[in-house]
């Protein structure tokens, strides 16, 4: 049957775009959708900060009246200016297991990139490295944690058949309560704190607007040499503060100061995916009502995910990382959490990967971003 691509324009189109993966994965026990109200914001140019630095066109693939795939075609002007690249991106790629449907969607992304003067197509990124990224290549038998994507394993075959090659892998590490507290980690963290050089403070919700500005400075310094890095803008930080507020658990989020100077940060959130399972991405579902319970502190989940960790370049290898990770493990265990996810760690971040491996962290999931030369 002929494949027809239709541009996403109306509010109804957006809802169809968001509904498609829920229908596609309805029989996959490990798939957990994000809340529609959150994903919908990404497609609202008035609410999503990305549109200040790039543009997006999204498409649905149809066979007759049936939706069989979707894709977003992305131009990230800030990325290309900063990295001196000519890269077009794609994201929100979902498809039935059909090479012709996949090819039609990726052809559209390639056409869009070429029309905007790009020589490389990269993805999946939803919409940038500051959002959810990558195609799952390891960990298909596990549920995704907060703000991490899940996909069928055939996606990677479709990418490589089209001609894509690996650009970068992102690693996810896991600590479990059963592992206890790594001895070396505790020794280093305790030694640094006993010297009294660094001051660790919990991040309180009432201080978020001020603290996120400190996080912005740390993040933009700590990550500046990382692959595909984009600095957090003032708009990004304003959005981060509003997103963190409902889920922030002060006992698991910290700033480290050196003589009053913010030098490190770590933010760890409850893995709300545990209660979103079965929600179908919609409000007033059983999963959403459980989520309300988590936000109000009435229901605990068993896992957490560290979403931000950074240390100023001037303060690396001075024990700040050990202080942050050690405090998270200690406080997490006190609160009754059973497991913690630390992601994403770039495969070429040799120092961080080595440190986590020495702590016996389990590299239990991997996501991949692909590149395709189109000129």
Provide the pLDDT for residue 281: 55
* Through-space distance between the first and last CA atoms of the chain, rounded to whole angstroms: 31
Are residues 58 and 127 located together in one domain of the fold? Answer: yes
Are residues 157 and 259 located together in one domain of the fold? Answer: no
Provide the pLDDT for residue 153: 97
Report how far apart, in Å, the C-alpha atoms of 227 and of each of 54, 83, 167, 346 are: 19, 9, 10, 8
Task: Decide: helix, strand or coil at residue 327.
Answer: helix
Domain count, the chain: 2
What is this structure's pTM? Answer: 0.93
The Cα 218–Cα 349 span in angstroms is 17
Boundary of a domain, candidates 108, 137, 171: 171
Look up residue 256 and give its two tokens: 């480290």
- Residues of the chain below pLDDT 70: 35-37, 196, 278-299
Look up residue 236 and give its two tokens: 């990004």
CATH of the domain at 80: 3.40.630.30
pLDDT tens digits, 30-56: 999 876 667 788 898 888 888 989 999
Contacts of 347 (CB under 8 A, 6+ apart): 168, 169, 170, 171, 353
Task: Decide: helix, strand or coil at residue 125.
Answer: strand
Nearest CA among 369, 368, 343 for reference residue 356: 343
Task: Decide: helix, strand or coil at residue 168.
Answer: strand
The Cα 265–Cα 320 span in angstroms is 9
Range(s) of the domain holding residue 144? 3-171
Are residues 135 and 240 located together in one domain of the fold? Answer: no
Q: DSSP string of 18-51?
A: HHHHHHHTTT-TT--PPPHHHHHHHT-TTT-GGG
User: Could you tell me which residues are beta bridge partners of residue 4?
Assistant: 62
Nearest CA among 301, 307, 360 for reference residue 336: 301
Q: Which helix (H) or strand (E) holds 10?
A: none
Provide the pLDDT for residue 128: 87
pLDDT tens digits, 175-208: 999 998 888 888 888 888 777 689 999 999 899 9
Are residues 245 and 284 located together in one domain of the fold? Answer: yes
Are residues 233 and 353 located together in one domain of the fold? Answer: yes
Q: Is the CB of residue 287 less than 8 Å from the CB of residue 278?
A: yes
Q: Is residue 12 part of a domain?
A: yes
Boundary of a domain, candidates 171, 204, 229: 171
Are residues 240 and 354 located together in one domain of the fold? Answer: yes
Provide the pLDDT for residue 214: 96
Q: Is residue 373 part of a domain?
A: no
Are residues 180 and 224 located together in one domain of the fold? Answer: yes
Boundary of a domain, candidates 171, 189, 204: 171
Which pairs from 274-281 meet CB under 8 Å and 24+ separation? 274/143, 274/301, 274/302, 274/303, 275/299, 275/301, 276/32, 276/33, 276/34, 276/35, 277/32, 277/143, 279/33, 279/35, 280/22, 280/33, 281/18, 281/19, 281/22, 281/33, 281/34, 281/35, 281/36, 281/39
């Amino acid at each position: 049957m002929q494949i027809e691509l239709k541009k996403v324009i109306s509010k109804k189109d957006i809802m169809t775009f968001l509904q498609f993966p829920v229908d596609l994965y309805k029989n996959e026990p490990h798939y957990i959708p994000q809340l529609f109200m959150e994903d919908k914001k990404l497609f609202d140019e008035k609410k999503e900060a990305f549109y200040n630095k790039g543009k997006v066109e999204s498409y649905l693939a149809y066979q007759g009246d049936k939706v069989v795939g979707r894709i977003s075609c992305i131009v990230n002007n800030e990325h290309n200016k900063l990295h001196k690249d000519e890269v077009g991106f794609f994201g929100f790629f979902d498809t039935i297991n059909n090479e012709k449907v996949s090819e039609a969607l990726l052809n559209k992304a390639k056409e869009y990139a070429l029309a905007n003067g790009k020589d490389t197509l990269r993805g999946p990124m939803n919409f940038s490295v500051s959002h959810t990224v990558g195609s799952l290549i390891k960990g298909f038998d596990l549920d995704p944690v907060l703000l991490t994507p899940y996909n069928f394993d055939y996606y990677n075959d479709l990418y490589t058949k089209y001609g894509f090659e690996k650009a970068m892998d992102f690693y996810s590490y896991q600590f479990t309560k059963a592992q206890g507290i790594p001895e070396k980690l505790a020794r280093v963290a305790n030694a640094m704190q006993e010297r009294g050089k660094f001051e660790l403070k919990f991040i309180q919700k009432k201080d978020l607007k001020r603290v996120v500005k400190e996080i912005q400075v740390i993040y933009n310094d700590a990550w500046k040499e990382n692959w595909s890095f984009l600095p957090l803008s003032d708009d990004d930080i304003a959005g981060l503060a509003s997103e963190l507020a409902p889920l922030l658990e002060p006992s698991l989020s910290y700033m480290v100061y050196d003589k009053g100077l913010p030098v490190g940060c770590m933010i760890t959130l409850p893995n709300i995916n545990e209660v979103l399972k079965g929600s179908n991405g919609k409000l007033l579902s059983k999963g959403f009502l459980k989520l309300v319970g988590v936000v109000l502190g009435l229901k605990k989940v068993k896992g957490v995910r560290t979403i931000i960790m950074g240390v100023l370049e001037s303060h690396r290898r001075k024990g700040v990382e050990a202080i942050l990770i050690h405090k998270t493990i200690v406080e997490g265990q006190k609160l009754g959490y059973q497991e913690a996810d630390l992601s994403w760690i770039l495969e070429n971040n040799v120092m961080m990967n080595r440190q986590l491996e020495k702590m016996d962290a389990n590299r239990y999931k991997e996501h991949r971003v692909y590149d395709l030369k189109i000129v």
